[in-house]
Amino acid sequence: MAAPKVAVVGAGVIGLSTALCISETCPSCSVTVLSDQFSPNTTSDVAAGMLIPHTYPGTPIHVQKQWFKETFTYLFAISHSAEASEAGIHLVSGWQVFKNTPKEELPFWSDVVLGFRTMSKAELQKFPQHQFGQAFMTLKCDCPPYLLWLEKRLKATGVQMYTRRVADLWELHSEYNVVVNCAGIGAHQLVGDKELFPVRGQVLKVHAPWVKNFIRDGDGLTYIYPGIHRVTLGGTREVESWSLSPDPGTTKDIFDRCCSLEPSLRRAQDIKVKVGLRPSRWCVRLQRDVLSQGGVKLPVVHNYGHGAGGFSVHRGTAKEAARLVGECIAALQVSSSRAKL
């Protein structure tokens, strides 16, 4: 087969990082990214990009840990290189605090992040409503910078990117040998996956440059994540809500909750409100598939459904997806050489 042609559908953090991994592992492949949205209009752009994993009930923990570890290691190296600021990757330390001591005091990722330990009584005094806490250091991927940096890396390796709304994966069968589905919440429509559902998140992005530490309530609903230029305040988790319009009542509620964790936020300026739909699923759909019509087959690799944990595992799942693409190509090469006999 001449240079295999791979289409990656989706240009959020999953689509772009998957395209990059494919071009890294298969240099002979011609990779094209197709998406109706690019940064700054993807779901990823709304997210704070914190490397704090979400737990998928349907994926074995050791797999999730491996994905997280690979992602952390990859970003850690970028964070102390000269490219860190351009890539939007930086280290940030802070606290996760709980109103009630959690059953699981040591999350599965505690030995992947840096310096994980229980908070002292003196540290907890800052959070009078919380009785237990964990302190650690992790990484943050600021978007748009991270996505723009991925786009730049992709262009440098010859990957083409086109704005195109793909209505049906099959429409790509004549132009591409393999299709990779990184459509995120778009997969609900694109492949009719009823197990995929939105979890609506509203966040505020504010100017409060004196906030240097992250603070997260263990319930996952209230968080303060300092980025390069803005601090992300969150949030909400509204299951099955498809609305992308900001809700003013929610804005006030988020702001109040965050100010009760960090009173100095009352002085925050220039509040911008954003909404994203987390592409949630009981497990990440990371698997091969085949579409066929009239004897023609189109190999597909799915890589979507990362919900609240996209950034935390993106590189790990991208590498796995690239490996699956490699398998698809190998299978195509076998069948194409068989066809020649």
Residue 8 CB neighbour total at 10 angstroms: 35
Question: Would you give the binding string for another protein spanning residues 252-291, x where CB under 8 A is met?
Answer: -----------xx-xx------------------------
206 is in an annotated binding site: no
- What values do phi and psi take at 112, rounded to 5? -95, -45
> CA–CA separation, 224 vs 256, rounded Å?
12
* E runs forming strands in the chain: 5-9, 30-35, 89-98, 114-118, 132-141, 160-163, 178-181, 197-207, 214-217, 223-226, 231-234, 238-239, 269-280, 285-293, 296-304
The count of chain residues that interact with another protein, using the rule CB under 8 A, is 37
- Residue 81 lies near another protein (rule: CB under 8 A): yes
- Residue 226 lies near another protein (rule: CB under 8 A): yes
Instruction: With contacts defined by CB under 8 A, name the span among 154-162, 194-202, 226-234, 235-243 that binds another protein.
Output: 226-234
Which of 126, 257 has the CB closer to another protein?
A: 126
Residues 142-171 that bind another protein (CB under 8 A): 142
- Residue 82 lies near another protein (rule: CB under 8 A): yes
Which of 118, 333 has the CB closer to another protein?
A: 118
Are the CB atoms for 199 and 305 separated by under 8 Å? no
79 is in an annotated binding site: no
> What are the residues facing 77 on neighbouring strands?
none
43 is in an annotated binding site: yes
- Residue 297 lies near another protein (rule: CB under 8 A): no
- What values do phi and psi take at 185, rounded to 5? -65, -20
> CA–CA separation, 44 vs 30, rounded Å?
25
- Residue 135 lies near another protein (rule: CB under 8 A): yes
Instruction: With contacts defined by CB under 8 A, name the span among 6-14, 115-123, 154-162, 169-177 that binds another protein.
Output: 115-123
- Residue 123 lies near another protein (rule: CB under 8 A): yes
- Residue 126 lies near another protein (rule: CB under 8 A): yes
Give the count of alpha carbons within 13 A of 231, CB side only: 29
- Residue 120 lies near another protein (rule: CB under 8 A): yes
Name every residue whose Cβ is closer than 8 Å to that of residue 93 and which is 6 or more positions away in sequence. Answer: 114, 115, 135, 136, 137, 138, 213, 214
Binding residues for FAD are: 43-44, 166
Residue ranges in contact with another protein by CB under 8 A: 79-86, 88, 90-94, 114-115, 117, 119-120, 122-123, 126, 135, 137, 142, 209-213, 226, 228-229, 263-264, 266-267
